[in-house]
């Protein structure tokens, strides 16, 4: 469905859209500015961290700025800084547009955003200054901060749900809207659950670990992927001018994503010290999740099939289609790494983290950039200055994502092979020198891939510095004002 | 789809997963306690694990906060998922012997959060206490990993140590570092490096990472258990 029936004429609808965009100017620009700031931090720190992985001491005047701490800082800045701020801005704008209403009290969302960003900053400071972090993967911030983060989230959620319940057309809802609301409902349910189960005084340590890995996969599938899909499903028909066919297929995909995604996560510890059924449920869900993701891909590709030229010239379409391809690759790799023979090699290697990074960089970020190319001119009042830089932004992102995925998968395979090779003479060597060259071979195998991973970060950093300079110009009113939408040259690559 | 269908459907989808994945296992796993050995089958008395170990909860918290779990795992996977139990550095105990076994929930009985790990940039530590039973080795390794393993890519944890001038006699707790790693003041006088309280708790914890107790037969697969019963009765 590309648009819902309305009693208004097209000029009246255009005026309504302009009013909606104006009402969102403050919160959307606030969330996109915050998101870009955190993305710069995440990529700069991620780049340093990727070098520290093979060169300890790199740019670390204190041991508090070494690999373990830069890793946590990079993760938090990427996921909760960039990812959530961008998703907040996207959700507000998408909901307002799809509900055809204005945001009545934009300051409330901004207040929520400030609480969120202050909580993240305190979390980073706690990790760097005083060992206050939890050290738990994807849950690194001090546990005490989660109530504040949830409160900030609920403040912003009140605006998203508020606009939805005030929607103009009470009878029909865009399919993309369900993905937005589903993602917000998941987070509201998952954070208190994870918080309570991890902090429960009589809980089991093994179970707490499983719960955070379940939360981690939920973040990927039910937050980042869901928001990315919402953006793609709204913007692809809008920009291509072709109706999104297959509403029933998409409804099936929605229930598939949310019905199965909520089971995924515990397979991270396949073979671990937990009841076998828990990782088994997660593994089965990861395999089955390929189906809803493929259905989404089919519908999106069918929609743009007759408009490939437009995909080349519109940055929004280019990024959205790249994100859809990322979505399919993500689903397939997640399904692949839970297969026993594959997991035996890839579990606990670069490959596992590589698949997570694919969801952030290769699905969510690409969809968010595509949306930003569409939303920012409409909320800032001026347009992108340079099609050339937008083109570079796209290609450097693609190079970065492909490099990151390839390096992590191949490097993870090499790492897994090196870890599992058995030298029969070790039984005797163990007695005299337990750390001798056995692990050295693993490090030597990984080193080249770790270096290449740094290059991926460099691509992404360059790409997004370029984007940042473009978007910053628009925020300070230095964008183009000739009223022409930016067109990329489709023959550039 | 109506709003009502959306919320009811989502509630049902989430509710079922919550019930099966989170609520039911929480109760089962929260009741974990030391498991008794059967003298007739296991050939020994007592429980697995044998008893409570000091500082484990606090040590594991520091282990996580210092980011150790980002590079080190603490898990021995079963044979169908790789060769962990036969690796000298994962198994720690005799890799060819019967002691090498997959990890069991009771290996983490006292920790509030089991640091199973994310990836293996460094070695698995489930048996580091068996491989390196000397606390001084751990202190030096934490302070300056390259002082004990030249090619290590692990960063040093200088912030877990106090570096101070030697006044009179060197402290008994001061690390014995190779000359090239010993810190000096600006006049070239050697300084002493003393582990702080966090470093001591962390090393206490690392020394207790040893998976050298066998799992009671009651926890093993029926086929293995049958074999053990058969072996026990033939003795």
Whether residue B114 and residue A56 make contact (CB cut-off 8 A), yes or no, is no
DSSP-derived 3-state class of residue B190 = strand
DSSP-derived 3-state class of residue A383 = strand
- Residue A467, pLDDT score: 92
| Structure token pair of residue A299 | 């519908």
Q: How confident is the model at residue A427 (pLDDT cuts 50, 70, 90)?
A: very low
> Half-sphere exposure (CA, 13 Å, Cβ side) for A457?
25
Q: Is the pLDDT of residue A210 over 70?
A: yes
Which percentage of chain A shows pLDDT scores above 90?
A: 65
The more confidently predicted of residues A290 and A205 is A290
Q: In B, which residues are within 8 Å of A442 by CB distance? A: 120
Is A434 touching B (CB cutoff 8 A)? Answer: yes
Window A:92-131, CB contacts with B under 8 Å: 131
Q: In A, which residues are within 8 Å of B119 by CB distance? A: 348-350, 352-353
Asked if A183 and A95 count as a contact pair (C-beta separation under 8 A), the reply is: no
- Residue B78, pLDDT score: 85
Whether residue A262 and residue B104 make contact (CB cut-off 8 A), yes or no, is no
- Strand ranges inside A120-236, DSSP E: none
Residuewise pLDDT in 10s, chain B (235 residues): 899 999 999 999 999 999 999 999 988 887 788 889 988 888 888 898 887 788 899 999 999 999 999 999 999 888 888 777 766 555 555 545 555 688 888 889 889 899 999 988 888 898 888 888 899 999 999 999 999 888 889 999 999 999 999 988 889 999 999 999 999 998 888 899 999 999 999 999 999 998 888 888 888 877 777 777 777 777 6
Window A:291-330, CB contacts with B under 8 Å: none
- Is the peptide bond between B180 and the residue preceding it cis, with omega within 30 degrees of 0? no
Phi-psi domain of A348 (left: phi exceeds 0; alpha: psi -120 through 50; beta: other) = left
Asked if A385 and A480 count as a contact pair (C-beta separation under 8 A), the reply is: yes
The more confidently predicted of residues A493 and B21 is B21
How far apart CA A38 and CA A234 sit, in angstroms, is 26
The more confidently predicted of residues B130 and A164 is A164
The more confidently predicted of residues A12 and A205 is A205
| Structure token pair of residue A69 | 């701490």
Q: How confident is the model at residue A3 (pLDDT cuts 50, 70, 90)?
A: low
A117-138 pLDDT per residue, tens: 999 999 999 988 876 788 888 8
Chain A closest-CA separation from residue B184 CA (Å): 17
Disruptive mutation site among A189, A439, A443 for chain B (greatest number of B CBs within 10 Å): A439
- Residue B94, pLDDT score: 56
A211: closest chain B residue by CA = B22
Using CA of residue A111, residue A79, residue A137, residue A65, what is the dihedral sign? negative
Q: In A, which residues are within 8 Å of B8 by CB distance? A: none
Whether residue B22 and residue A197 make contact (CB cut-off 8 A), yes or no, is yes
Is A259 touching B (CB cutoff 8 A)? Answer: yes
Q: Is the pLDDT of residue A204 over 90?
A: no
Q: Is the pLDDT of residue A420 over 80?
A: no
- Residue A428, pLDDT score: 45
**Alpha-carbon dihedral of residues A182, A183, A188, A193, nearest 10 degrees?**
100
B129: closest chain A residue by CA = A434
Q: Is the pLDDT of residue A314 over 80?
A: yes
Disruptive mutation site among B21, B62, B220 for chain A (greatest number of A CBs within 10 Å): B21
Disruptive mutation site among B16, B25, B61 for chain A (greatest number of A CBs within 10 Å): B25
Whether residue B153 and residue A56 make contact (CB cut-off 8 A), yes or no, is yes
Give DSSP secondary structure letters for A231-261: HHHHHHHHHH------HHHHHHHHHHHHHHH
Chain B closest-CA separation from residue A408 CA (Å): 12
For chain B, what's the residue count?
Answer: 235
User: Which of A225-234, A242-251, A447-456 has the highest average model confidence (pLDDT)?
Assistant: A225-234
Whether residue A214 and residue B22 make contact (CB cut-off 8 A), yes or no, is yes
Q: What is the mean pLDDT of chain A?
A: 89
Q: In A, which residues are within 8 Å of B88 by CB distance? A: 426-427, 429-430, 434, 438
- Of A274-288, A364-378, A409-423, B83-97, the least confident: B83-97
Q: Is the pLDDT of residue A289 over 80?
A: yes
Q: Which of A137, A347, A430 sits opposite B88 (nearest CB)?
A: A430
Q: How confident is the model at residue A492 (pLDDT cuts 50, 70, 90)?
A: very low
A262-277 pLDDT per residue, tens: 999 999 999 888 888 9
How far apart CA B123 and CA A488 sit, in angstroms, is 49
Chain A closest-CA separation from residue B98 CA (Å): 13
Residue A418 Cα to chain centre, angstroms: 31
A260: closest chain B residue by CA = B13
The more confidently predicted of residues A381 and A208 is A208
Whether residue A72 and residue B67 make contact (CB cut-off 8 A), yes or no, is yes
B17-38 pLDDT per residue, tens: 999 999 999 888 877 888 899 8
Is A142 touching B (CB cutoff 8 A)? Answer: no
How far apart CA A343 and CA A345 sit, in angstroms, is 5
């Amino acid at each position: 469905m590309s648009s819902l029936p309305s009693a208004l004429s097209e000029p009246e609808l255009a005026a309504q859209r302009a009013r909606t965009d104006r009402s969102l100017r403050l919160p959307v620009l606030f969330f996109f500015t915050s998101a870009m700031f955190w993305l710069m931090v995440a990529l700069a720190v991620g780049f340093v961290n990727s070098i520290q992985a093979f060169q300890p001491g790199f740019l670390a005047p204190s041991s508090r700025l070494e690999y373990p701490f830069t890793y946590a800082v990079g993760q938090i800045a990427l996921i909760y800084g960039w990812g959530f701020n961008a998703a907040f801005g996207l959700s507000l704008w998408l909901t307002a547009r799809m509900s055809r209403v204005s945001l009545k009290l934009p300051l409330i969302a901004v207040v929520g955003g400030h609480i969120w960003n202050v909580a993240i900053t305190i979390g980073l400071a706690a990790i760097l200054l005083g060992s206050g972090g939890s050290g738990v993967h994807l849950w690194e911030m001090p546990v005490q901060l989660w109530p504040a983060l949830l409160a900030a989230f609920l403040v912003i959620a009140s605006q998203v749900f508020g606009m939805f319940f005030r929607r103009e057309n009470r009878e029909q809802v865009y399919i993309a809207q369900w993905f937005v609301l589903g993602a917000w409902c998941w987070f509201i349910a998952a954070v208190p659950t994870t918080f309570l189960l991890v902090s429960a005084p009589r809980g089991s340590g093994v179970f707490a670990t499983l719960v955070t890995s379940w939360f981690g996969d939920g973040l990927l599938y039910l937050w980042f992927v869901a928001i990315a899909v919402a953006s793609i499903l709204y913007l692809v028909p809008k920009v291509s001018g072709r109706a999104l066919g297959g509403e029933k297929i998409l409804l099936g995909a929605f229930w598939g994503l949310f019905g199965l995604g909520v089971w995924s996560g515990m397979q991270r510890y396949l073979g671990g010290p937990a009841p076998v059924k828990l990782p088994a449920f997660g593994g089965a869900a990861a395999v089955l999740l390929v189906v809803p993701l493929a259905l989404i891909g089919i519908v999106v590709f069918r929609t743009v099939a007759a408009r490939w030229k437009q995909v080349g010239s519109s940055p929004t379409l280019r990024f959205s289609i790249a994100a859809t391809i990322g979505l399919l690759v993500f689903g397939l790799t997640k399904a692949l790494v839970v297969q026993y023979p594959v997991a035996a090699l890839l579990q606990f290697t670069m490959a596992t983290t590589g698949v997570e990074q694919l969801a952030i960089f290769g699905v969510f970020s690409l969809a968010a950039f595509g949306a930003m190319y569409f939303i920012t001119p409409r909320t800032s009042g001026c347009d992108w200055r340079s099609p050339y830089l937008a083109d570079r932004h796209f290609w450097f992102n693609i190079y970065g994502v492909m490099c990151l995925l390839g390096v992590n998968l191949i490097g993870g395979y090499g790492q897994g092979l090196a870890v599992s090779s058995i030298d029969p003479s070790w039984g005797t060597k163990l007695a005299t020198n337990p750390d001798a060259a056995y692990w050295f071979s693993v490090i030597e195998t990984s080193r080249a891939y770790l270096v290449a991973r740094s290059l991926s970060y460099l691509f992404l950093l360059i790409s997004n510095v370029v984007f940042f300079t473009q978007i910053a110009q628009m925020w300070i009113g230095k964008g183009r004002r000739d009223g022409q939408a930016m067109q990329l040259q489709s023959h550039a690559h | 789809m109506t709003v009502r269908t959306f919320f009811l459907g989502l509630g049902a989808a989430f509710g079922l997963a919550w019930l099966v994945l989170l609520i039911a296992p929480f109760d089962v796993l929260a009741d974990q306690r030391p498991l008794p050995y059967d003298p007739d089958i296991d050939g020994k008395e007592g429980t697995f694990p044998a008893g409570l170990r000091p500082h484990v909860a606090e040590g594991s918290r520091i282990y996580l906060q210092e980011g150790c779990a980002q590079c080190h795992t603490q898990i021995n996977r079963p044979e169908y998922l790789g060769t962990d139990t036969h690796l000298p550095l994962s198994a720690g105990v005799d890799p060819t012997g019967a002691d090498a076994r997959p990890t069991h929930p009771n290996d983490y009985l006292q920790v509030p959060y089991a640091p199973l790990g994310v990836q293996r940039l460094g070695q698995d530590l489930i048996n580091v206490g068996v491989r390196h039973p000397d606390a001084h080795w751990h202190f030096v390794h934490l302070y300056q990993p390259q002082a004990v393993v030249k090619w290590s890519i692990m960063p040093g944890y200088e912030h877990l140590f106090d570096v101070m001038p030697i006044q009179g006699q060197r402290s008994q707790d001061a690390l014995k570092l190779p000359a090239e790693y010993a810190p000096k003041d600006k006049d070239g006088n050697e300084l002493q490096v003393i582990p702080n309280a966090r470093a001591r708790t962390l090393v206490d914890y690392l020394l207790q990472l040893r998976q050298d107790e066998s799992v009671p037969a009651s926890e093993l697969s029926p086929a293995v258990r049958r074999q053990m019963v058969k072996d026990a009765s033939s003795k």
